[in-house]
Amino acid sequence: MNNFRNICIYLILIFTCSFVICQDIPDGRYELSSALINDKLYFFGGATDATNSSNEVYYIDLSSTFDIFTPPFKKVSTRMPVGDNLGTCVSSPDNSTIFLIGGRMTSTSTAVYKFDPISLQWTIPIIDGFNNSFINRNEINAVIDSKGKTYIFCGTDYNVGNSAVGINIFYEMSLFDTTSMTWSTSTLPTNILPRIDYSATLLPIGLIIYIGGHTQLTPSSAYTYTSFNDILIFDTKSLSWSNKTASGATIQPRAGHSAVLIKDGNIIIFGGANGAAQVYPDLAVLNTNTWIWSVPSNSTVNAPPSLAFHTANLYKIYMIIAFGGKTFQKVVRPYVYSNNIYIFDTETYSWVSSFNEVSQGTPTNKGGTSTNQGGLSTDNGNSSTYKIILKEIEKNLISEGLHNSDLYDKEKHGNSVV
Ligand SMILES: *[C@@H]1O[C@H](CO)[C@@H](O)[C@H](O)[C@H]1NC(C)=O
Ligand SMILES: *[C@@H]1O[C@H](CO)[C@@H](O)[C@H](O)[C@H]1NC(C)=O
Ligand SMILES: *[C@@H]1O[C@H](CO)[C@@H](O)[C@H](O)[C@H]1NC(C)=O
Ligand SMILES: *[C@@H]1O[C@H](CO)[C@@H](O)[C@H](O)[C@H]1NC(C)=O
Ligand SMILES: *[C@@H]1O[C@H](CO)[C@@H](O)[C@H](O)[C@H]1NC(C)=O
Ligand SMILES: *[C@@H]1O[C@H](CO)[C@@H](O)[C@H](O)[C@H]1NC(C)=O
């Protein structure tokens, strides 16, 4: 009798899952890129396994609340013209266009594509002075300023399938002006070391803060990790370089971490990997006035597993982490890639399971940014029904000796790509 009930509940879950919740669920992936346009957070490409470079585009609409167990992924009907991983994306200041720049593209006829999120069209922009040696450039992170100038630091030309011999790290800054559609390349001063797999964060005063990643002490030497105390700074106003020595908490060197700037001027870094292994701490804060590192919270409630080559974007007060390689499992093949979303509240410094404040219609505009004025539907797709079903199943499964974590994997549809 009880078994019959369990089966029924399971079937209900499967039906709910197929028709309501699991629509457009992307495969797990890492090395993707993301861009925020108004209330939509777009995800481009990424590697779904060691060899498959995806050309899919997904987005989530952040204007409605959702919880991390049922992220409302939507697949964009138009795919990218190329598969791409380890590239970078920027949104034009007027939010009309997303540029996909570099990465390991499955076609190397160019390295820049333009996406119109309204018409869903992809085009190849004509860029005056585009440097063909940028084709195949990857392991990069670009920033765009309010004038549409995009800065792309270094990168490598390594590509799976190409010979590993003669991998170059480029000692240069590429400047792509998306307003005038011009491109220029400048060589680094001799005292500045190149980096790849770093994070790049633009401060409002026009400084780009480069943190972590790999470097090369000489053009022929092997990669090494840069210390998280070596903060490299590019001034977009004077086009000059400088550096700061950070102090405070010890942050293990890593590559493939993310960084977002929050409103008090602090940079939050998350994740990354050292070799293939997990790094500590997962999350840290760099104060850009004092250059002191701190570790605010290590609560594991609603927190992601350790991830590398995921995406991170700041939406209002929330840092949204998506996808990524699960580093603690990466040392053992098959690799496991995430398709989950995690939300970090940058005011309370805690991981949350949903946009609670927004969903209750409470004004969240502590920083002066306008937010949804309470006119929101609180349950997009009504996941509470789903939650009630889950609660029932949880009770039943636990009573049969199944672990909560088994349920959680289903709940988050945490798929492992094997
Ligand atoms: C590559 O990944 C996409 C998206 O996950 C998937 O649809 C496709 O089947 C994969 N191709 C191969 C050859 O594995
Ligand atoms: C573009 O979208 C971003 C991200 O939501 C937003 O912060 C910004 O104000 C928007 N810009 C314009 C010009 O609408
Ligand atoms: C193009 O890039 C290459 C190497 O990345 C550099 O040597 C060359 O000077 C650049 N060309 C121009 C016109 O900037
Ligand atoms: C960092 O700054 C120090 C002191 O100003 C300087 O000696 C050094 O060359 C700089 N290093 C880099 C990589 O800019
Ligand atoms: C979290 O931080 C507390 C206080 O700093 C420390 O005692 C504890 O060991 C930490 N836990 C983990 C899992 O790092
Ligand atoms: C969602 O479902 C619950 C439980 O069935 C119901 O109480 C609630 O009114 C629904 N909410 C919306 C927004 O439809």
What's 210-271 look like in SS3? EECCEEECCCCCCEEECCCCEEEEEECCCCEEEEEECEECCCCCCECCEEEECCCCEEEEEC
Is the predicted pLDDT of residue 150 greater than 90, yes or no?
A: yes
C-alpha 35 – ligand 4 centre gap (Å): 33
Q: What is the mean pLDDT of residues 266-293?
A: 95
**377-412, pLDDT tens digit by residue?**
223 332 333 333 333 334 443 343 333 333 222 223
Q: What is the mean pLDDT of residues 81-103?
A: 98
Can you list the positions of beta strands (E) in 239-392? 240-245, 247-248, 258-261, 266-270, 273-274, 277-278, 283-287, 292-294, 307-308, 311-315, 318-322, 325-326, 341-345, 350-352
Q: Is there a contact between 68 and 320 (Cβ–Cβ < 8 Å)?
A: no
- According to DSSP, the residues that pair with 343 across neighbouring strands are 320, 352
Q: Is the CB of 27 under 6 A from ligand 1?
A: yes
Q: Is the CB of 39 under 6 A from ligand 1?
A: no
Q: What is the mean pLDDT of residues 27-33?
A: 96
Task: Identify the pLDDT of residue 113.
Answer: 98
How many CB atoms are located within 10 Å of the residue 24 CB? Answer: 14
Task: Identify the pLDDT of residue 310.
Answer: 98
**Inter-CA distances, 195 with 168, 210, 231, Å:** 11, 9, 12
Q: What is the mean pLDDT of residues 363-371?
A: 32
**106-130, pLDDT tens digit by residue?**
999 999 999 999 999 999 999 999 9
Q: What is the mean pLDDT of residues 80-88?
A: 97
Alpha carbon nearest to ligand 2 atom 10, residue: 38
CA distance 324 to 27: 11
Q: What is the best residue among 127, 128, 131, 170 to mutate for testing ligand 3's pocket, by most ligand atoms within 8 Å of CB?
A: 131
Q: Is the CB of 415 under 6 A from ligand 1?
A: no
C-alpha 210 – ligand 4 centre gap (Å): 14
C-alpha 40 – ligand 2 centre gap (Å): 10
Q: What is the best residue among 133, 138, 176 to mutate for testing ligand 3's pocket, by most ligand atoms within 8 Å of CB?
A: 133
Q: What is the mean pLDDT of residues 156-172?
A: 73
Q: Which of 143, 168, 170 is nearest to 154 (CA)?
A: 170
CA distance 29 to 86: 11
Confidence grade of residue 355 (pLDDT, cut at 50, 70, 90): confident
Is the predicted pLDDT of residue 333 greater than 90, yes or no?
A: no
Q: Is there a contact between 214 and 232 (Cβ–Cβ < 8 Å)?
A: no
Is the predicted pLDDT of residue 165 greater than 80, yes or no?
A: no
C-alpha 191 – ligand 4 centre gap (Å): 7
- Of ligand 6's atoms, which has the minimum distance to the CA of residue 378? 13
Q: Which of 16, 39, 62, 25 is nearest to 354 (CA)?
A: 62
Q: Is the CB of 347 under 6 A from ligand 6?
A: no
Classified as helix, coil or strand, 199 is: strand
Task: Identify the pLDDT of residue 61.
Answer: 95
Q: What is the mean pLDDT of residues 69-83?
A: 96
Alpha carbon nearest to ligand 2 atom 8, residue: 38
Handedness of CA 230, 236, 239, 240 (dihedral sign): negative
**Residue 319 token pair:** 């840092």
C-alpha 242 – ligand 4 centre gap (Å): 7
DSSP code of residue 316: T
Q: What is the mean pLDDT of residues 295-311?
A: 91
**Residue 348 token pair:** 């309370």
Task: Identify the pLDDT of residue 403.
Answer: 34
pTM of this prediction?
A: 0.79
C-alpha 113 – ligand 3 centre gap (Å): 20
Q: What is the best residue among 172, 173, 186 to mutate for testing ligand 3's pocket, by most ligand atoms within 8 Å of CB?
A: 172
**Exposed (0-12), middle (13-18) or buried (19+): which is 292, by Cβ within 10 Å?**
middle
Task: Identify the pLDDT of residue 388.
Answer: 36
Q: Is the CB of 382 under 6 A from ligand 6?
A: yes
Ligand 2: list residues with CB < 6 Å. 36-38, 94-95
Alpha carbon nearest to ligand 1 atom 6, residue: 54
Q: What is the mean pLDDT of residues 362-391?
A: 32
φ, ψ at 133 (rounded to 5°): -70, -5
